[in-house]
Amino acid sequence: MTIKEMQERKRELGYSYAQIAELSGLPLGTVQKVLGGITLTPRYDTIMALESVLGEEQPMAVRESARPYNVKKQGEYTLEDYYQYPDDIRMELIDGVIYDMTSPTSAHQIISGFIHSKMLQHVLNNGGKCLPMIAPIDVQLDCDDRTMVEPDVLIVCDRDKVIDRCVYGAPDFIIEVLSKSTKKKDSVIKLNKYLNAGVREYWMIDPDKKKVIVYDFAHDEYPIIYGFDAKVPVGIWNGDLEIDFAEVYDHVRFLYERQKE
């Protein structure tokens, strides 16, 4: 099999990198690099190990590990499966489908952290009860066993929703910072999930296009698109806080300038 065929087979089977590593006996990092297109000339024995997993005949379950988990068809996974994955594997569960999450870029983290700090300072300065939070934090969005998401930034105003293991129910406000690997999921799948779950406001920040797409679900005003030169009001706080994206961009500008060199 070619690497492209293996990638397509992985998507067809719904396997995560961790599951393939368990089945093949290969290190997780090796699986990620080969199937992620980073290692262009993998060793023959690596290819054979991957092909044994991604070929036509498939085992029914991943072999036992420190924290065993079953291989199911996409759409059949539950929180029981989600909690059996190793803690160092980042993923989301949406309507029974497991989505691998790649590590965020530096720009992604800087933007998320900067905005979270502004929101937290606003709450502290005004004695508010809302809780700005930042990933990683699990959100059991629909209060069922088929969905667990991990937004980049969120605000929860009903503190009863914050329990020890997760946020149980829909946050009031969510930000996702888009990347090439998450753009479709964030702008289609999660957009609809957040709307239907009762999230009041959802921002998608596109660092590549320097755009902010705002969905004010509570007031049926969406989408509104801003550039990185705009001050974007936080709707759930009636605009009492504005995020100045010119300031956000100044904070991360060095990364954009480095790309031009």
pLDDT value, residue 66: 33
63-72, 124-133, 182-191: lowest mean pLDDT where? 63-72
Sign of the C-alpha dihedral computed for residues 4, 8, 14 and 20 taken in this order:
negative
CA angle, corner 18, sides to 12 and 19, nearest 5? 50
Single-letter amino acid, residue 259: Q
CA angle, corner 88, sides to 199 and 105, nearest 5? 65
Identify whether the C-beta of residue 85 lies closer than 8 Å to the C-beta of residue 67: yes
Which residues are CB-contacts of 51 (< 8 A; sequence separation ≥ 6)? 1, 6
The structure tokens listed for 28 are 């997780």
- Burial (Cβ within 10 Å: 0-12, 13-18, ≥19) of residue 10: buried
Residue 60 has pLDDT above 70, yes or no: no
Percent of the chain with pLDDT over 90: 61
Q: Determine what percent of the chain falls in helix, strand and coil, rounding each to the nearest 5.
A: 40, 20, 40
Report residue 169's pLDDT band, with 50, 70 and 90 as the boundaries.
Answer: very high
C-alpha atoms less than 13 angstroms from C-alpha of 51 in its C-beta half-sphere: 11
